Amino acid sequence: MNFLGAEFKDDIREVPTKALAYVGDAVFELFCRTRFSFNNSKVREHVNAEAQAKSFDKIEILLSEDEKAIAMRGRNLKTYRSKEPFYRKATAFESVVGYLFLTGKEKRLRMLLAKSFE
């Protein structure tokens, strides 16, 4: 994947799940900021754990086997908030978004993000 001249060449399986979720969260927030023309109240409606968990519910059935494996890694990530079920789903969502972004699967990423807003 090449983004702004920086190329990601590592094996995606070696990327820590926390890093995938971090990248996915950043990509999703940027997506929402541009989609809602930087309207902060609209962005906040979508860029939070509960809303991202709902987004994951909408796309979960559409995930490929690789994407399901990434989602499971995200869902099983142990953090101080991982006892909250919606937070676990949100981390699964962010992990899938980060995975698709880093592997350069832009068309697939766009499709899943569009489905998450239906």
Question: Which residues are the active-site residues?
Answer: 25
DSSP helix/strand/coil, 114: helix
Give per-residue burial for 64-102: e unless 16+ CB within 10 Å, then b. eeebeebbebbbebeeeeeeeebbbbbbbbbbbbbbbbb
**Position of tokens 């998450």?**
116
- CA end-to-end span of the chain: 28
Distance between CA atoms of residues 16 and 115, nearest Å: 26
**Position of tokens 């499709």?**
111
